[in-house]
Amino acid sequence: MCKLQHTKGPWEACSRGDYTDFDGNSQVILGNDMRIGVVHSYDIEGEANARLIAAAPEMLELLIDLCIYNCSGCSGKTKGCSGKCGLNIIPVIEKATGLKIEEVLSE
């Protein structure tokens, strides 16, 4: 698989107020001891957004694995999935990586 360009996981959503350079309602997303992003989480929705962002690397990895290993008859190198797995995950992988599926799956 090609070298993906994002910071490797796992990512972590820190507790609100952990960083004094942001107001007490902000959650910092960390990956590899660096800041990935900040969610200004004043409510439950903001906290859910922070958790979703923090889970992104693992979700992407699972989608790529699904494309490679679990789609019977689908190499992922075609214009679209065969549909045998019931999902068309290629556009999601391409959106997340900014790469064509052939680049993501290349070695």
Mean pLDDT by 10 residues, the chain (107 residues): 81 81 80 90 87 95 81 52 64 90 77
At 59-73, the pLDDT tens digits run 999 988 887 776 555
Where b means 16+ CB within 10 Å and e means fewer, 44-74 reads: eebbebbeebbebbeebeebbebbeeebeeb
The CA distances from residue 17 to 32, 37, 65, 79, 94, in Å, are: 20, 14, 36, 45, 34
Question: Hunting for tokens 């694995």 — which residue is that?
Answer: 65
Structure confidence at residue 71 (pLDDT): 59
Question: What one-letter code names the amino acid at 14?
Answer: C
Question: Hunting for tokens 């800041």 — which residue is that?
Answer: 35
Asked if 26 and 18 touch (Cβ cutoff 8 Å), the reply is: no
